[in-house]
Amino acid sequence: MRSQAKPKYAVFLLSMGCAVVFWLLFAGISTLVVDPYGIDGSPVFQNFNVRKPHSYRHRVEAKMARVRRLNVATLVLGNSRVDAGFDPKSLAWPRSLTPVFNLGIPNYKINSSIELVEGNNRLVETSNIFLGIDYLDFISSVNCELPPKVGVTEAAWWEAGIFIKTHFSLMAIVDSLRTIGAQRQPGSRHMTEDGFNPWDDIWESINLEGQAVIFEQKNRENLKSYVARNTYCSRNTDAPEWLAILRFLRKRALMGKKTFVFLHPYHADILASMSLTGHIDTFNQFKRSLAREISIITRETGATIPLWDFAAMYPPNISPAPKKGELGVASRWYWEAGHYRKSLGDKMLKRMLGALDSDLQFGDLLIAKNFEDVISRQTHLYDTYRTQHYDDVTRIERLKALVSH
C-alpha cells in the first residue's frame, strides 16, 4: 500500500509544482507586457495599454516608478489636489522648468509625500519643487503626536509584498485584462506617464447626474469632516506635518535649490463650510505660523522661498456652483469644491512665476511683513461674499444643519 501511495503523492506534488510555475510565468509575463499600473515602464501600444485605469490601486508605487524613470527639472508635490490640478504638459510651464512630474498622491499627507522624496537623493536635489500645502492636513479628530516609525525590516517586507501584488496576484491579472478592455473607453481613469490625473472618469457622473450632485455630496462629506476634526495641530506641537515641511525647506535652501510653497485654492463652498464650523481663525493662525517659519529659514539660509496663498475668496474661487439639473456641463475652475481643474492650476502657475498674463487678483504672496494686511483684505473679501452671495452661504448653512443631526 505504501509503495503505491508514494507515486501518487509524488505525482500530486509534481502537478502542484508545475501549476505554480505555470501561474508564475503566466502572471509575470502578462503583467510585464500589459503593465497595468505603469510600474515596469513596458512599451505602450495604441488600443492595448496606453491608458492605465488601475494605476491608482497602487498609486504610490506607480508614481514613484514613473518619476524614477525620468530626469525631471521640476516636481509638483502634494496630495490629490495637486494630482488633479497640475498638468506637466501644460503650456503654462516655461521651457526652463521642464520636464515636469506631478507627484501629487491622493490620500497622502504632506509629511508622507516629503518622506518619499527624501528617500531618493536625486528627487531631493530636483532643481525646482512646487510644494502644495493643505490646511486640512493640520486638523485632526485625535491628537497630533508622531506616528511610530516603520523599521527597515518591515519596509523591506512591504516592498516585497507590493511586488508580488503587482505582478503575481489574481488582481494584477484581472487589472491587466481590464486595462486592455479600457483602451476604447475615453472616460476611464488614467495616470499619465508624468503623473497627472486628468479626471476623465468624472464626466460620466457629470453627464448622468450633473456636477451639482457631485458638489453637494462632497460638501456634505467636508462638513462632517470639519465638525469631527476640531483639533488644530499648531506649530507648538510635534505634528509630523510641521516637522517634515520645515526640515525639507531648510534642506533644500541649504542645497541652493528653488522651492515654491503654495496654499491650495478652495471653492467658496469649502471656505464657507470652514467658516461655519469654526476653522477660519485657526486657518489664519496656520497661515501666520507658516509665513513666520519660512521667514526664519530664509533669514538664516539666505534663500528665497515664496509662499503663495490661493485660499481666499478670489474671483475664480467664488465662481458660481453648478446648477441642479444641468447635465454635461462642468465648472470652468473646479471638479468639485475641493479639487480644482488644470485650468486653475495653470492660473496658479502663471501667478507664482510672474507671467505677463497672470491674474493679479488671484492669490497673495505671504511674507511676515505684509501678513496682517493680507488677512485683513481676505476677511473683507469674505464679508463681501456673504453679502453678495447670501443664497450660496444659506445653502451651506442648511447642509451643515443636516449633517449635524
Residues 306 and 179 in one domain: no
CA angle centred on 190, ends 173 and 55, rounded to 5° = 40
Close Cβ partners of 368 (under 8 Å, ≥ 6 residues apart): 291, 292, 295
Helix axes 152-167 and 2-34, enclosed angle (nearest 10): 90
**Dihedral of alpha carbons 251, 138, 347, 84, sign:** positive
Residues 301 and 380 in one domain: yes
Is the distance from CB of 74 to CB of 125 less than 8 angstroms? no
Residues 87 and 21 in one domain: no
> What is the pLDDT, as a whole number, of residue 369?
86
Has this prediction a pTM greater than 0.85? Answer: yes
Q: Which backbone phi and psi does 208 adopt, to 5 degrees?
A: -90, -40
Chain-centroid distance of CA 294 in Å reads 22
> What is the pLDDT, as a whole number, of residue 157?
54
> What is the pLDDT, as a whole number, of residue 217?
94
Domain of residue 57: give its range.
Answer: 1-69+154-184
> 251: closest CA among 297, 291, 187?
297
Q: All 3 cell numbers of residue 305?
A: 522661498
Is residue 189 included in any domain, yes or no? no
- Three-state SS annotation for 220-258: HHHHHHHHHCCEECCCCCCCHHHHHHHHHHHHHHHHCCE
Residues 294 and 348 in one domain: yes
> What is the pLDDT, as a whole number, of residue 25?
78
Q: What is the pLDDT of residues 150-206, one digit of tens each?
A: 444 444 555 777 888 888 888 988 999 899 988 888 788 899 999 999 999 999 999
Residues 211 and 115 in one domain: yes
For cell 443636516, the residue is 402
Is residue 398 included in any domain, yes or no? yes
Separation of alpha carbons 217 and 326, rounded Å: 16
Residues 160 and 295 in one domain: no
- Average pLDDT, consecutive stretches of 10 residues, N- to C-terminus, the chain (405 residues): 61 75 76 90 90 91 94 96 97 96 94 92 94 92 59 53 84 90 86 95 94 94 88 81 95 97 97 93 94 95 97 96 89 95 98 93 92 94 95 93 83
Is residue 147 included in any domain, yes or no? no
Q: What is the pLDDT of residues 204-250, one digit of tens each?
A: 999 999 999 999 999 999 999 988 887 888 877 778 899 999 999 99
> What is the pLDDT, as a whole number, of residue 184?
84
Is residue 76 included in any domain, yes or no? yes
Residues 388 and 250 in one domain: yes
> 149: closest CA among 243, 77, 218?
243
Is residue 146 included in any domain, yes or no? no
Residues 364 and 228 in one domain: yes
CATH number, residue 336: 3.40.50
Is residue 149 included in any domain, yes or no? no
Residues 76 and 64 in one domain: no
Q: Which residues of 340-351 are buried (b: 16+ CB within 10 A; e: fewer)?
A: bbbbbbbbbbbb
> 141: closest CA among 250, 251, 226, 244?
226
User: Within 10 Å of residue 397's Cβ, how many Cβ atoms?
Assistant: 13
Domain count for the chain:
2
Residues 174 and 287 in one domain: no
Residues 167 and 263 in one domain: no
Is residue 86 included in any domain, yes or no? yes
3-state SS of the chain: helix, strand, coil percent to 5?
Answer: 55, 10, 35
Is residue 148 included in any domain, yes or no? no
Residues 294 and 352 in one domain: yes
Chain-centroid distance of CA 135 in Å reads 13
